[in-house]
Structure 1
Amino acid sequence: MTCYDRRDLGLLLLRLGAGGVLAAHGAQKLFGWFGGGGLEGTGAAMESMGYTPGKASATAAGLSEGGGGALLALGLATPAAGAAAAGAMVAASAVLQPNGFFADGGGYEYAASLGLTAAGLAVTGPGRLSLDHLLGDTLNRGWMVPVAFGVTAAATLAVVGARNKRVRLAAEGEQETLFDE
């Protein structure tokens, strides 16, 4: 019998897939790699979506996706990594939600799938084929899961709530302008 089982291999594949995709998206935001806008372009896009200040929002999103994704792929600090990535995907879903669920219509399907995968890995843990396991799970303790999700939820609610308020106020201002004409 080997020291690794199917579960460990499955978790490794999930971590590499979801973590790799998240890390690539973060690299687009932070560095402009893979056709991304970098901090300047992503910052401008974030401003247009209601996330202000744009450059700080791009940095936070890039670090959450890029850092969280890289750590998930490595299986290191898995509760924090998964929670951070999931929080970033909630923020992305908030922008995409008006377009409906399915990605082919611009919806939040893809962001929700990545976020749920990251959250599931944070809760389940990385398995034995991970740096967390190699390091004796010092950064992967059971108590870290609710703490990581609690901190991430508070930050995500504050950021998305402020963004939604800005978008709502801007829409109300546009409606007033239309009625004034």
Structure 2
Amino acid sequence: MPFSHRKDLGLLVLRLGTAGVLLTHGSQKLLGWFGGGGLEGTAASMESMGFTPGRESAIAAAAGETGGGALLALGLATPVAGAAAAGAMAGAVAVHAPAGFFAHAGGIEYPAFLGFVAAALGLAGPGHYSVDRLTGNCLNRPGTVLLAFAVSAAAATVVVNRRVATLAAAAEAESRAEAPGLSSV
């Protein structure tokens, strides 16, 4: 088997494996499959983690995982798919960061790895065995890569910063409620 075919086959296997994980997790959030909370349960969880508004945050996370996963599986709009999934994983990393690195302790290891793999696929492209190739790579061009990753990075930054502000405001409100005699000057 020529080297280029091995590389294309490797990209296909990596795309399908990554897509399977993303689709499974996204369908938990979106549809309640595989023991997930569905959109309503995910919205409540998102609110409790500081992502507001919860429903819109749940839709965005589910779309990044499910949509990104489906597109990666097909090898269609691969830069958009990789960027969307990586952006969704940035939000997950923000949630898991206080627990450190390792997954067994609830850390960032798993979502960070999944995000890096999705980003790498978005940057590398889908390979020969893909819908992108069949369409002449019209959605897999350098400009698409730049735009997709710029939009994803900007959106993830806004979402994570909004979460930080929400959590800080909640902590301050809780602190004031515990010390009602003290006023801030």
User: Normalising to structure 1: TM-score of the pair?
Assistant: 0.95
Q: Counterpart of 2:161 in structure 1: which amino acid?
A: G
Gaps of 5+ in 1: none
Is 1:32 the counterpart of 2:32? The answer is yes
Structure 1 Cα separation of the partners of residues 108 and 3 of structure 2: 39
The equivalent residue for 1:63 is 63
Distance 2:172 2:133 in 1: 52
Partner of 1:122: 122
Q: CA deviation at 1:147?
A: 0.7
Q: Distance in 2 between matches of 1:73 and 1:30?
A: 18
Q: Which residue of 1 aligns with 2:111?
A: 111
**1:69-108 equivalences in 2 (<5 Å):** 69-108=69-108
Q: Which whole-Å CA distance do the structure 2 matches of 1:129 and 1:94 have between them?
A: 34
Q: Match of 1:145?
A: 145
**Aligned residues between the structures:** 181
> RMSD value over aligned CA atoms?
1.5
Q: Tell me, in whole angstroms, the C-alpha distance in 1 between the residues paired with 2:43 and 2:118.
A: 24
Q: Distance in 1 between matches of 2:11 and 2:5?
A: 10
**Equivalent residues of 1:102, 1:109 under 8 A apart:** yes
Q: Determine helix, strand or coil for the equivalent of 2:142.
A: coil
State the Cα distance separating 1:108 from its structure 2 match: 1.0
Give 1:156-171 correspondences, 5 Å limit. Answer: 156-171=156-171
Q: Residue 15 of structure 1 aligns with which residue?
A: 15
TM-score, reference length from structure 2? 0.93
Quote the Cα distance in structure 1 between the aligned partners of 2:106 and 2:46. 16
Deviation at 1:2, TM superposition (A): 6.0
Deviates more, 1:80-89 or 1:170-179: 170-179
Q: State the one-letter code of the partner of 2:42.
A: T
2:27 corresponds to 1:49: no
Deviation at 1:176, TM superposition (A): 3.0
Q: Distance in 1 between matches of 2:157 and 2:2?
A: 44
1:33 maps to amino acid: W
Correspondence for 2:134: 134
CA drift at 1:172: 2.3
Q: Distance in 2 between matches of 1:157 and 1:116?
A: 16
Q: Aligned to 1:126, what secondary structure does the other structure show?
A: coil
